[in-house]
């Protein structure tokens, strides 16, 4: 007995539906089986072909009507008689393997490329990490110089203390100038008077 099944719905592709159907066919000892994804008038669909004894086909049909892959969303299932050839289930399994390898190759290539990039980044990180001893040494030097800061601050305090005495020193200098200036003026006037007297005696005035 041969049968064709059309399974339609929003999510019947890329949910493992064909492999799910194949495992159910094998469980009912159906030796001729194949399933293919297609685009039908109602949208996405899975077309299934099976050939076996009548009891096996009926049991398989009952499973198809009641069981679905976890992530599938089925809207309709149609059963029709079929009179064409059906692939041996073993050959179909090999066909599925080839299809999956074809899908996997681009992914594997992408993984390989991503791995190469990751290794390159690891090399860069490792190269930078190798500079860590030098960085630590520079940190030690900075810390050593920083440890001298208390001494520097103490010296600044001494200088500031001396600098704070400057107004007092300036005041003392001002007083000295005031003390000296009056006497110096009187002495200068006396010298001028004496010079004038001498000039008069010599007739130079």
77/150 same-domain check: no
Tell whether 123 is covered by a domain: no
Which ranges of the chain does DSSP label H, i.e. alpha helix?
Answer: 17-27, 54-66, 89-129, 132-147, 149-164, 166-201
Tell whether 205 is covered by a domain: no
Tell whether 103 is covered by a domain: no
Predicted confidence pLDDT, tens digits, the chain (205 residues): 999 999 999 999 999 999 999 999 999 999 999 999 999 787 899 999 999 999 999 999 999 999 999 999 999 999 999 999 999 999 999 999 998 888 888 888 889 888 888 888 888 777 776 666 777 777 677 667 666 566 756 765 765 666 555 566 556 646 655 554 555 556 567 767 766 766 676 666 5
Range of the domain at 42: 2-95
Structure tokens, 189: 């006037």
Tell whether 26 is covered by a domain: yes
- Three-state DSSP class for residue 16: coil
């Amino acid at each position: 007995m041969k049968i064709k099944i059309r399974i339609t719905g929003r999510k019947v592709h890329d949910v493992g539906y064909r492999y799910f159907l194949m495992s159910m066919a094998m469980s009912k000892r159906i030796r001729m089986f194949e399933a293919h994804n297609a685009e039908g008038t109602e949208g996405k669909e899975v077309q299934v072909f099976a050939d076996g004894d009548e009891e096996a086909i009926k049991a398989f049909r009952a499973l198809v009507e009641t069981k679905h892959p976890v992530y599938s969303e089925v809207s309709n299932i149609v059963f029709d008689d079929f009179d064409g050839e059906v692939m041996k289930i073993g050959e179909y399994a090999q066909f599925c393997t080839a299809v999956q390898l074809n899908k996997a190759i681009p992914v594997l290539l992408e993984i390989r490329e991503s791995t190469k990039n990751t290794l390159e980044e690891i090399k860069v990180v490792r190269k930078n990490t190798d500079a860590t001893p030098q960085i630590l040494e520079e940190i030690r030097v900075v810390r050593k110089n920083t440890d001298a800061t208390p001494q520097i601050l103490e010296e600044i305090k001494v200088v500031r203390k001396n600098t704070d005495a400057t107004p007092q020193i300036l005041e003392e200098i001002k007083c000295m100038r005031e003390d000296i200036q009056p006497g110096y003026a009187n002495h200068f006037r006396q010298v001028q008077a004496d010079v004038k007297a001498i000039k008069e005696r010599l007739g130079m005035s």
